[in-house]
Amino acid sequence: MQGEDQAIGGRAMDSMTGRLLVATPTLKDPNFDRTVVLLVAHEPGGALGVVLNRATEVPVADVLGDWSDLAREPAVLFEGGPVQPDSAICLARMRNPVKRLRGFHQVSGAVGTIDLSVDPERMRESIGGIRVFAGYSGWGAGQLEQEIEDGSWFVLDALPGDAFVDRPDDLWPMVLRRQGGMMAAVAHFPPDVALN
């Protein structure tokens, strides 16, 4: 839950729910190379997120026809992560984040998860767009904190539009550049330094 303290490396840390994990160039796991992950849950028992910048070529209409009109461009499924790739997590952006909406679970501000078993027609007026993820990224208790301490991830603030960008392939350098300073320089780090 947001605001709960957790120990990381012997010091207290607030929940990272709603924040971005941006893969550092040193992270060599092919599942997460140059990824941007939105954490939708971070609790003492672990963390769960979805990769925002791995679009597939499968149209949302082919899998969830009723929801396809609400899907933001590109209106395709995204690879949310290596865990349970046959399951789906749907992020939605509310038009009015103060209004309560049944089936919507807030992650941060106007962004949250939405229950796909709800009738999308009921949501049409309240939702400004959705993005559907096949699978998710998950970490057990203390695992993510250790990866952060080891330098695998930058933990950065998310903007409401990050989960819904039109050009997801550009998200990794875009998030790094907006940090400024040395962090912006990382955005230009070549994918393979041997080719530099």
Count of structural domains, the chain: 1
Taking the CB of residue 65, how many other CB atoms lie within 10 A of it? 11
CATH code of 67's domain: 3.40.1740.10
Residue 109 inside a domain? The answer is yes
Element (H, E) at 20: strand 20-23
Residue 194 inside a domain? The answer is no
Residue 36 inside a domain? The answer is yes
Percent of the chain with pLDDT over 90: 73
By CB atoms closer than 10 A (0-12, 13-18, 19+), residue 106 is middle
Long-range contacts: 103-106, Cβ < 8 Å, 24+?
none
Question: Is 168 strand, coil or helix?
Answer: helix
Of 11 and 191, more confident:
191
Residue 190 inside a domain? The answer is no
The answer to whether residue 5 scores a pLDDT higher than 60 is no
The answer to whether residue 89 scores a pLDDT higher than 80 is yes
Residue 192 inside a domain? The answer is no
Q: For 150-169, how does the pLDDT look when each residue is reduced to its tens digit (9 = 90+)? A: 999 999 999 989 999 999 99
**Alpha carbon distance 40, 57 (integer Å):** 24
The CA–CA distances, whole Å, from 11 to 14, 66, 98, 145, 152 equal 10, 46, 33, 11, 19
Confidence of residue 6 (pLDDT cuts 50, 70, 90): very low
Of 192 and 49, more confident:
49
Structure tokens at 193: 């330094």
Confidence of residue 174 (pLDDT cuts 50, 70, 90): very high
Residue 39 inside a domain? The answer is yes
Of 194 and 86, more confident:
86
| Cis peptide bond prior to 82, omega within 30° of 0 | no
**Alpha carbon distance 1, 14 (integer Å):** 9
Which range of residues forms the domain containing residue 163?
5-185
Of 183 and 6, more confident:
183
Residue 191 inside a domain? The answer is no
Please give the pLDDT value at position 104: 92
Please give the pLDDT value at position 12: 43
Residue 101 inside a domain? The answer is yes
Please give the pLDDT value at position 150: 95
Q: For 109-152, how does the pLDDT look when each residue is reduced to its tens digit (9 = 90+)? A: 999 999 999 999 988 899 999 999 999 999 999 999 999 999 99
Q: Find how far residue 23's CA is from the centre of its chain.
A: 12
- Report pTM: 0.89
The CA–CA distances, whole Å, from 78 to 53, 57, 103, 139, 145 equal 8, 9, 21, 19, 25
